[in-house]
Amino acid sequence: MATHREYSGFHIDTVGRVVRKTLLNECVTLPVAAAATWLSQESSAATLGKVLEFAATLGLNLTPAIVSRIARVALCLGGAGFLLSANRLLNKWSANNFTRSTPGEWSHWEREIVVVTGGSSGIGQNIVKGLLARNPRTTIVILDFAPLSWTPAAGTLGRTLHYYQADLSRPDVIRDVCARVRAEVGHPTVLINNAGLGRGYTVMEGAYADVEVTFKTNLIAPFLLCKEFLPDMVKNNHGHIVSICSMSAVVPPPEMVDYAASKAGIQSLYEGLALELKYRHDAPRVRLTNCLFNFIQTPLLTSAGQERPLQPQFFAPLLHVETVSEAIVNGIYSGYGNIIYLPGLMRYITMLRAGPEWLFRVAVARGTAQMKVSFKGRQQIDKTGGLAPK
């Protein structure tokens, strides 16, 4: 869920969190329902009378009919809360092939090797810092075309923290750098496919190279990195792959269609790979996490001269990088795969996709088009179609 950082801390996720812990908390409402039901029985008339007298001293005008109504309402709320909890558990276990991690499997992070693409800045940088804050002895490998924009702790670079400059839009570079990582650091157990780019053109605008570099970096690179690092994870039935998807895969905004299409491919990669790991490779404990995020606060994202897209911030707050990275780190440390929706409302937007097409277009897609999102990629492309240094 979104946090205190977004929209001064008051948004749909804040309200949802309060409601879930009170009215839709079955641990609260079901006991209330049971107590009110018991009081409504003829055998409890004496106790009910005492309760009504005590309520009167508090200024509450309770009657037997009101107590009976409280029982029915509390039972409905408790039942709804129970169904939400059951749904959450079923989602978790189905996403993890109904398999538990072995005792202590994810307790010793100094033994894990984590690859973070795009870890030089932004979300990737915060993921790396979050992992190191949890356990400074975790071995982390950063793959990025850009140089590090932050200074690692003294003595860590080249020991527990490794940086490899790599243009992930080039398959030959990916093959070479992955071979170096295995030879110089070891076989990764966690892969976070975070690196991505967008060019900010309509389908008619931009050059061939703009489309090609977007798909190569956002979609082909994650596929190839999985091919490089999955075999050892499958061999040991241990690993975790995190895919940074986007709500644009569900609702593609104008001027970001190539980006959205590449993220829709990431969604298919997540879903199809989950089936392959269980039914083709017999590796059900290789965990997968998919991240469906709303727009994230960045200087590259604007709208009609504004600092952020023109969308209702209460229902769809612009996310902070720290919120996103915290959710990813917490998910990895749980030892289980998941689908992370931020803000939580995005889960229900995704459900609307399966509803009537006209409803989705009118209620969701048209609103996205009216946000007038402006996204201008910061990367430069060289004459060969790859990324060029600034």
Q: Are strands 139-144 and 387-388 parallel, antiparallel or unpaired?
A: unpaired
- In 3D space, the residue among 73, 92, 70 whose CA is nearest the CA of residue 24 turns out to be 73
Specify if 105 maps to a domain: no
Task: Show which of 95, 124, 139 is a domain's final residue.
Answer: 95
d(CA 204, CA 274): 35
Q: Are residues 265 and 380 in the same domain?
A: yes
The DSSP annotation for 228-242 comes to: HHHHHHHHHT-EEEE
Q: Is residue 158 part of a domain?
A: yes
For residue 325, what are the domain limits?
Answer: 110-388
User: Which residues have a Cβ under 8 Å from the Cβ of 341 and sit 6 or more positions away?
Assistant: 292, 347, 350
In CATH, what number is assigned to the domain containing residue 256? Answer: 3.40.50.720
Cα dihedral: 359, 365, 370, 375 (round 10): 170
Same domain, 373 and 261: yes
Termini Cα distance of the chain: 36
Whether residue 233 is found in the same domain as residue 259 = yes
Q: Are residues 150 and 17 in the same domain?
A: no
pLDDT at 79: 97
Q: Are residues 168 and 237 in the same domain?
A: yes
Q: What is the pLDDT along the chain (390 residues), one digit of tens a residue?
A: 889 999 889 999 999 999 999 999 999 999 999 999 999 888 888 998 998 988 888 888 889 999 999 999 999 999 999 999 999 999 999 999 999 999 999 999 999 999 999 999 999 999 999 999 999 999 999 999 999 999 999 989 999 999 999 999 999 999 999 999 999 999 999 999 999 888 888 899 988 999 999 999 999 999 999 999 999 999 999 999 999 999 999 999 888 899 999 999 999 999 999 999 999 999 999 999 999 999 888 755 555 555 556 677 888 888 999 999 999 999 999 999 999 999 998 998 898 888 888 888 887 777 776 666 666 665 666 656 666 665
Same domain for 321 and 277, yes or no, is: yes
Spell out the residues 6+ positions from residue 230 whose beta carbon is closer than 8 angstroms to its own. Answer: 239, 241, 286
Alpha-carbon torsion, ordered 153, 156, 162, 163, to 10 deg: 30
pLDDT at 55: 87
* CA–CA separation, 131 and 109 (whole Å): 9
Whole-number Å distance between alpha carbons of 378 and 75: 54
Angle at 313 between CA 312 and CA 315, to 5 degrees: 75
Is residue 294 situated within a structural domain? yes
Give just the sign of the alpha carbon dihedral 143, 148, 150, 153. Answer: positive
Angstrom distance (rounded) from CA 179 to CA 185: 10
What gap in Å lies between CA 328 and CA 123, rounded to an integer? Answer: 10
State whether 70 and 135 are in the same domain: no
Return the exposure string of 355-364: e unless at least 16 CB atoms fall within 10 Å of the residue's CB, then b.
Answer: eeeeebeeeb
Q: Map residue 299 onto helix, strand or coil.
A: coil
Active site residues: 259, 263
Query: What pLDDT score does 289 carry?
Result: 98
* pLDDT value at residue 308: 59
Instruction: Report pLDDT for 195.
Output: 93
Structural domain ending residue among the three candidates 32, 60, 95: 95
CB 300 within 8 A of CB 350: no
1 belongs to a structural domain: no
166-192: string of b/e by CB count within 10 Å (b at 16+)?
A: bbbbbeebbeebbeebeeebeebbbbb
Domain identity same for 89 and 153: no
pLDDT of residue 42: 84
156 occurs within a structural domain: yes
The answer to whether residue 229 is domain-embedded is yes
Dist CA 40 CA 37 (whole Å): 5
Same domain as 50, residue 181: no
- Could you tell me if residue 102 is inside a domain? no
Q: Are both 246 and 383 inside the same structural domain?
A: yes
One domain, residues 187 and 218: yes
CA–CA separation, 267 and 274 (whole Å)? 11
**100 part of a folded domain:** no
DSSP-based three-state secondary structure for 42? helix
Quote the number of domains for the chain. Answer: 2
* Cα–Cα distance for residue pair 70/91, rounded to 1 Å: 31
Last residue of a domain, one of 63, 95, 127: 95
* Alpha helices in the chain, H assignment, sequence order: 12-21, 26-39, 45-57, 64-95, 122-134, 171-184, 208-215, 221-236, 257-279, 321-333, 346-352, 357-360, 366-369
**Domain identity same for 169 and 75:** no
CA 320 to chain centre: 13
State the Cα–Cα distance between residues 167 and 181, nearest whole angstrom.
15
